[in-house]
Amino acid sequence: MNPYFPSDTYDTPEDRSRDLMDRLCCGGSLWFHVLYSRVVFAARLHVANNRYDYTAWAKSSHDMLQAIERCGGRFHISGIDHLRHADRPLVIISNHMSTTETQVFPCLIAPFMPVTFIVKKSLVTMPLWGPIMSSRDPITVGRENPRHDLKTVMTEGTQKLLDGISLIVFPQSTRHVIFRPEEFNSLGVKLAQRAGVKVMPVAVKTDFWQRGRLTKDLGPLQRSKPIHMHFGEPIEIQGSGKEEHHAIVEFIKTHLDRWGAATAE
C-alpha cells in the first residue's frame, strides 16, 4: 500500500497554490532551494541516526514532491497500478531529464517494493546529497571504463534482484532535456535478461527543474512546464532483448512526443 498515491494516477490539485514566500521571490528559485535544503538536512539527520529506512526515504521523497508543488510544480503521474501489482523485483528503466525523478521516484516506488538506484560514483561522494544516496546501498559505476561498469552492474545487480531488490536505471550517460535514442543504452535490458526479471519502462518530462550553473541540483524552475511521469506495464525479456529495448525507447519517445518534449530521431 502506498500512503501517498492510493490510485493509479496523481495530478496536483487545481487549488494547490504557491507559497507566499515563493511568490515574493518574483519568479526566482530561492524559496525552493530553502525547502530543498530542509528536506535534505532532515534526511541526513535520519541517516546519521541509522533511522533512514525505506519508509523514511519515501517520506523525504514525498516531502520533496510537495516542496516542488509549493513552488509552482504541477505533477501528472500515471501507471502507478503497474507498481502496485508487481509481484517480483523489476529493472525500472527511465529517461533522465532532471533531478526531479531522482528525488521523486522513491515515494512512488519504495512503498511497493525494496528498491535502489544504479548511479555514478560521484553521487555518493557529494557533500550534501552523498550520504543519503550512499545509505540506500546503490550500485555505483565510474563511467570511465564501460567494460568494468558492465561487469559491476551484472554481478551486483543480479544479486540485488535475486535478493528481492528492484533497480532503477537511467541508461543515458547524463541528464538530457532532448531524448536521443542512440544515447539510450541497453544495460537495463541486459541485466533483467540475466536475472530473469521483467523491465518496467518509465517516461518522464521533468524540465520544470532546470540544471544549475554552479550546482547542478540547484537550478532555476520553469513554472510554465508541467511535470509528467508514466509507469508502463512490465515487459518480459525474450531472446536477445533487442525488441524489448526498442519497445522501451518507443514507449519513452511516444510519451515525450505526446507531452510536447523535444526528441531526436
HSE-CB for 66 with a 13 A CA cutoff = 11
264 domain residue, yes or no? no
Please tell me the total count of domains within the chain: 1
Give SS3 for 239: coil
The sign of the torsion formed by the CA atoms of 38, 42, 48, 54 equals negative
d(CA 91, CA 16): 34
The answer, yes or no, to whether residue 117 has pLDDT greater than 80, is yes
253 domain residue, yes or no? yes
pLDDT in tens, 253-262: 999 999 987 6
Q: Which domain holds residue 75?
A: 10-259
d(CA 204, CA 176): 11
166 domain residue, yes or no? yes
pLDDT in tens, 134-188: 999 999 987 677 788 889 999 999 999 999 999 999 998 678 788 888 889 999 9
199 domain residue, yes or no? yes
Q: Does the pTM exceed 0.85?
A: yes
89 domain residue, yes or no? yes
Residue 163: the pLDDT is 97
Cell (9 digits) for 117: 538506484
CA-based nearest residue to 119, from 190, 69, 99: 99
Instruction: Give the position of cell 541516526.
Output: 49
4 domain residue, yes or no? no
Q: 236: exposed, middle or buried (C-beta count within 10 Å: 0-12, 13-18, 19+)?
A: exposed
Length of the chain: 265
248 domain residue, yes or no? yes
The 10 Å Cβ neighbour count of residue 27 is 10
171 domain residue, yes or no? yes
Give SS3 for 209: strand
